[in-house]
Amino acid sequence: MGGMLDKVAGVVYGADYNPEQWDRATWAADLELMRQAGVNLVNVGIFSWAELEPCLGEYRFEWLDDVLDALAAAGIFVNLANATATPPPWFSTCYPEALPVLADGSRLWPGARQAFCPSSPVYREHALRITRLIAERYAEHPALVMWHVSNEIGGRNALCYCDESAAAFRKWLEVRYGTLDELNRAWGTTFWGQRYSEWTQLLPPRRAPTFGNPTHDLDFRRFSSDACLDIYRAERDVIRAVTPDIPVTTNIIPNHRDLDYWRWAPEVDVIAADHYLKAHDPEAHIELALTADVARGLAAGEPWMLMEHSTSAVNWQPRNIAKQPGEMIRNSLQHVARGADSVMFFQWRASRFGAEKYHSAMVPHAGTDSKVWKEVVELGGILSRLHDVVETTLEADVALIFDYESRWALETGSHPTVDVTYLDRVAPLYRATWDSGITVDVVSPDAELTGYKMVLVPSLYITRESTAARIDQFVTAGGHAIVTYMSGIVDEYLHIHPGPHPGAMRDWLGVWVEEFFPLRAGEQVGLDDDSQVEVWTEMLRLDGATPVTTYKDGPLPGVPAVTRHDHGEGTVWYMATRLEDDATARLVNQALKVAGIKPPIPMVTAPSGLEVTRRRGDSGCFLFLINHGSETAHVLAKGHDLVADTAINGRLSLLPGRVAVIQEEAP
Ligand code: GAL
């Protein structure tokens, strides 16, 4: 891993390892099985605080000493947790004030995990204390190559409305606004008579009689994400002071709703992401690809770690669907295809007890005579052949602007319709590029766009002037953009940009909106290309753009639904309505054609469901082909397929469900 875990050669392979759930005979068996699978890294101690400190100030480190010594002796490296993910029962009994509080004022109880307020001073005090003890005790341990701070910080407790959070929120607001006048202006408190005259009047947006102030809500979400980041930073800094040369990270959930990971990315030494398939989604592999691309975006294009995924079913969805034969390997290699230099799972051995005893693992309850174990060993073999892939990167012509804040803002408070949600337009735009074999870099609204040929802008509700200006310059200079409705509407304080919508983008989109016309639940409107739209329409007025399609019926017959504007040297497309996925794909393909963007390889036949990426670097070029579809794909390629370990002499036929990673010959 590019200097990050330099003792660990090749692709990192392993899992969360929870030996505290098992006897010592099982530990010995585990080490032998890890050797068989080719495991080279395990995450240890994530939920072990209560095992290490069963009573306040009473420590039991010996078992962990033994585990780490045994791992070191077996040549397996450790990403060691600081154990703060779940405080022990004694902590919640002594300090009930640290338990999180919901917006309605009710306090959550201990008994699960993550039952703490991220802003709690007493949680921080004890978390830093145990962190320091662990860091000092294991600083020199030969197995230690990385630190794992907490676990999915804020994953279940990001939003806490308690009095400690209120105090921290006030401080955060003082830093952000300086004066109450500034805050009152930003929050628009003249509306509904909300002017604050003392800082002490400010509270988290607790449950109120009706809609709260939207900027108050948004700032609380920003604060909450920052509060989680702050406790991460504090734990990290304790560790860094003890072991300045060992990388520190925390595992994130890239598509999590409560955290703005663009702000986290610079604070971790390596992006470590968790991903679980949405079992109800027949095309869950496309959502996987998007999430992996978000992780790569957070890593600024550099390799990242897949810290957790599952070998088969999870335990926490309503129906936990087992993976089909071959699906786990496809999923794992998909992450690698999209820039991961590690493949790790939750967890090593399936638990016999506890809330996740039905969750799959590398060693299932069924033991080694099982599909899962055989694939775990097979995957280990494949990964060992992918060592040169490590540190290579992907190249993309297309960027997709992804904004956690716009998601918060669009999905809280009152809007023209409840049916406009953020990912709703991200997914089909992404999917259209995925279907065409086009790699997309997911970027923040502050990202530099130079170097890309196209930018996708789904529902960028909050648009800062600087972002709008950057897209404008990008298009003026010859770039291509696709923008969907509910973009460019408000500034970072949620004030509507002056003049007709979309105020921040109107000039270069070549359109303006006279009035929004959201549709009734289930209502469909026809377009002149015979496709149907739903959810959203707008009384669009042209100012330089030309119509691509218009409404045939519904509230706005004859009004443009999709437009094209040749602006400067480039082109910008505007989707003023919620197109069907096929119509979205047609438009994206038209725009890709105009922009001259092509997939990375020539196909002989390109059945749907073939995923293609290329990683490139000093060690060579690696073409990843993953056939999620039901037909054989025929591809022109030359090199060595590292999955099947065979030469490819010009043409490859890839059966449904199979993966090839071709180390390409230099041209
Ligand atoms: C993750 C979590 C793990 C485990 C896993 C189960 O969100 O970090 O500890 O619970 O889910 O899928």
Euclidean distance between CA atoms 570 and 587, whole angstroms: 16
Nearest CA to ligand 1 atom 4: 346
Q: Is there a single domain that holds both residue 280 and residue 373?
A: yes
Q: Is there a single domain that holds both residue 537 and residue 455?
A: yes
Mean pLDDT for the stretch of residues 435-462: 97
Give domain status of residue 649, yes or no: yes
Give domain status of residue 578, yes or no: yes
Q: Is there a single domain that holds both residue 487 and residue 356?
A: no
Q: In the listed set 595, 615, 646, which residue is the last one of a domain according to the structure?
A: 595
pLDDT of residue 293: 98
pLDDT of residue 11: 97
Pull the structure tokens for residue 53: 């400190």
Q: Is 142 helix (H, G, I), strand (E, B) or coil?
A: coil
Q: Is the peptide bond before 347 cis (omega within 30 degrees of 0)?
A: yes
Mean pLDDT for the stretch of residues 93-116: 97
CB 274 near ligand 1, within 6 Å: yes
The count of domains in the chain is: 3
pLDDT of residue 608: 83
pLDDT of residue 277: 97
Euclidean distance between CA atoms 46 and 148, whole angstroms: 8
Mean pLDDT for the stretch of residues 113-118: 97
Euclidean distance between CA atoms 585 and 587, whole angstroms: 5
In the chain, what is the greatest distance between 2 CA atoms, to the nearest angstrom? 76
Q: Is there a single domain that holds both residue 366 and residue 408?
A: no
Q: pTM of the predicted model, to two decimals?
A: 0.98
By CB atoms closer than 10 A (0-12, 13-18, 19+), residue 643 is buried
Give domain status of residue 46, yes or no: no
221-233 pLDDT tens trace: 999 999 999 999 9
The question of whether 152 is a catalytic residue gets the answer yes
Q: Is 486 helix (H, G, I), strand (E, B) or coil?
A: coil
Q: Which domain holds residue 405?
A: 398-595
pLDDT of residue 132: 98
pLDDT classification of 475: cutoffs 50, 70, 90: very high
Is residue 1's pLDDT more than 60? no
Give domain status of residue 198, yes or no: no
Nearest CA to ligand 1 atom 12: 314
Q: Which helix (H) or strand (E) holds 538?
A: strand 538-542
Pull the structure tokens for residue 262: 């663009």
Distance 20 CA to ligand 1 centre (A): 17
Q: Is 640 helix (H, G, I), strand (E, B) or coil?
A: strand
573-605 pLDDT tens trace: 999 999 999 999 999 999 999 999 998 776 666
Distance 153 CA to ligand 1 centre (A): 12
| Catalytic-labelled residue, pool 235, 287, 308, 327 | 308
pLDDT of residue 44: 98
Euclidean distance between CA atoms 346 and 303, whole angstroms: 20
CB 151 near ligand 1, within 6 Å: yes
Distance 344 CA to ligand 1 centre (A): 12
Whether residue 251 contacts residue 273, with contact meaning beta carbons closer than 8 Å, is answered with yes
Q: Is there a single domain that holds both residue 406 and residue 492?
A: yes
Euclidean distance between CA atoms 285 and 282, whole angstroms: 8
Q: Is there a single domain that holds both residue 306 and residue 339?
A: yes
Of ligand 1's listed atoms, the one at least distance from the Cα of 155 is: 7
Helices 284-298 and 423-435 pack at an angle, to 10 degrees, of 100
Query: Look-up: residue for tokens 């998601």?
Result: 407
CB 408 near ligand 1, within 6 Å: no
Distance 349 CA to ligand 1 centre (A): 14
CA distances from 204 to 16, 100, 107, 213, 528 (A): 35, 13, 15, 11, 48
Name residue 634's beta-bridge partners. 605, 653
By CB atoms closer than 10 A (0-12, 13-18, 19+), residue 493 is middle
pLDDT of residue 6: 78
Mean pLDDT for the stretch of residues 188-201: 98
pLDDT of residue 603: 65
Q: Is there a single domain that holds both residue 560 and residue 614?
A: no
Q: Is there a single domain that holds both residue 341 and residue 325?
A: yes
Distance 385 CA to ligand 1 centre (A): 28
Distance 348 CA to ligand 1 centre (A): 12
Give domain status of residue 541, yes or no: yes
Choice from 356, 357, 360, 362 to test ligand 1 binding pocket (greatest atom count within 8 A of CB):
356
Is residue 4's pLDDT more than 80? no
pLDDT of residue 3: 47
pLDDT of residue 667: 59
Give domain status of residue 149, yes or no: no
291-335 pLDDT tens trace: 999 999 999 999 999 999 999 999 999 999 999 999 999 999 999
CB 573 near ligand 1, within 6 Å: no
Give domain status of residue 570, yes or no: yes
Distance 450 CA to ligand 1 centre (A): 38
What's 644's domain CATH number?
A: 2.60.40.1180
Is residue 2's pLDDT more than 60? no
Q: Is there a single domain that holds both residue 552 and residue 631?
A: no
Is residue 353's pLDDT more than 90? yes
What's 491's domain CATH number?
A: 3.40.50.880
Q: Is there a single domain that holds both residue 285 and residue 376?
A: yes
The question of whether 580 is a catalytic residue gets the answer no
Q: In the listed set 570, 595, 620, which residue is the last one of a domain according to the structure?
A: 595
Give domain status of residue 365, yes or no: yes
Q: Which helix (H) or strand (E) holds 78?
A: strand 77-81
pLDDT classification of 374: cutoffs 50, 70, 90: very high
Q: In the listed set 385, 417, 446, which residue is the last one of a domain according to the structure?
A: 385
Q: Is there a single domain that holds both residue 373 and residue 483?
A: no
Helices 180-187 and 214-242 pack at an angle, to 10 degrees, of 120
| Catalytic-labelled residue, pool 53, 152, 287, 534 | 152
Of ligand 1's listed atoms, the one at least distance from the Cα of 310 is: 12
Is residue 219's pLDDT more than 60? yes
Pull the structure tokens for residue 88: 């022990």
CB 276 near ligand 1, within 6 Å: yes
Q: Is there a single domain that holds both residue 424 and residue 342?
A: no
pLDDT above 70 covers a percentage of the chain that reads: 98
Choice from 156, 308, 310, 356 to test ligand 1 binding pocket (greatest atom count within 8 A of CB):
308
CA distances from 178 to 128, 197, 218 (A): 30, 14, 18
494-522 pLDDT tens trace: 999 999 999 999 999 999 999 999 999 99
